[in-house]
Amino acid sequence: MQVTVNGEDTELAADTTVADLVAARSGAHDRVAVALNGDVVPRSSWPATRLSPGDTLEVLAPTAGG
Amino acid sequence: MSTSELAPALAREEASDPFVIAGETFTSRLLLGTGGVPSLETLEAAVRASGTQLVTVALRRVEASSSASMLEVLDRCGVRLLPNTAGCRTAREAVLTARLAREAFGTSWVKLEVIGDEHTLLPDAVELLDAAEQLVMDGFTVLAYTTDDPILGRRLADAGCAAVMPLGSPIGSGLGIRNPHNIALLREGVDVPVVLDAGIGTASDAALAMELGCDAVLLASAVTRARDPEMMALAMRQAVEGGRLAKRAGRIPRRWHAEASTSFEGLPEL
């Protein structure tokens, strides 16, 4: 299925969960947050949240800022 | 030798003059931003020299975010993290960013920033107040970055913000405090802490903020982009301490003419 992750069209397996996506994307970051179609997905819900075709995700991590 | 060994009076003053935001007590009145820092080594040196206990951080797409070791450095320094909503243009974006930051950092404290455009980075008053109201309702401790408008400052305090943070001048400009009168008026008009945020260029700007009655100063670029960030962090720490003490000590009135400090009584006729 096709979803949009951080602004990029991305092809994922049909049963991918938010937890799968974070594991694949977050590298060394452990303090990560995910928005799915404009809503926060709490960390506790990542394993049970399955993605659907056309979903839009933002996977965010800490960075320096003023 | 620590500052307290050098100056027992300073240690006494700090102990009797705590800085409290939303029930949390800080001994340092300097908040430091991490934006623009050239390296992690420099960040750690600056954080330690500044004595800060509250440090701002941001959230970005994972591919663009800095290495995870920045948080290791900040954790090692024992500072509290204050996520910001930098770059948000609408209340909707800012509220969502604050909720994401709460997930990522495990804190409901947020430096709320809603900017009107990328050229000035000035706050959008309408979106800011809307976002502040929503976040307070949602249980956030909101430290609101705002213009130096005393009326907007009061509206943000009335909305339940834990601190109001007026700019001295635009972010990163180093132009100092362009309207000191407004900052003093804003300070008079609210009961929550006022933190001068943005525009600080050098130590005298930070001291002036405190002399105007601000409770603390938040700065990033002035330290992170200084030629020697560690030394500038120390300068800012001492400026904030000096300005606070001067405010509490009570300055002399400004006079048009001189007033002799040496008495004329008993002056010999030579």
Tell me whether residues A64 and B59 touch, CB distance under 8 A.
no
Asked if A59 is an interface residue toward chain B (Cβ–Cβ < 8 A), one would say yes
pLDDT in tens, chain B (270 residues): 555 566 676 666 666 788 999 999 999 999 999 988 889 999 999 999 999 999 999 999 988 777 678 899 999 999 999 999 999 999 999 999 999 999 999 999 999 999 999 999 999 999 999 999 999 999 999 999 999 999 999 999 999 999 999 999 999 999 999 999 999 999 999 999 999 999 999 999 999 999 999 999 999 999 999 999 999 999 999 999 999 999 999 999 999 999 988 999 999 999
Domains of chain A as residue ranges with CATH: 2-60 (3.10.20.30)
CATH number of B24-242: 3.20.20.70
C-alpha to C-alpha distance for B241 and B11, rounded to whole angstroms = 11
Q: Which of B122, B80, B78, B82 is nearest to B98 (CA)?
A: B82
Single-letter amino acid, residue A38: G
ipTM above 0.90, yes or no: yes
Taking contacts as CB-CB distances below 8 angstroms, the residues of chain A near B96 are: 35, 38-40
Domains of chain B, by residue range, sit at 24-242
- Please give the positions of B annotated as active site: 111
pLDDT for B5:
64
pLDDT for A26:
83
Tell me whether residues B64 and A58 touch, CB distance under 8 A.
no
C-alpha to C-alpha distance for B205 and B187, rounded to whole angstroms = 16
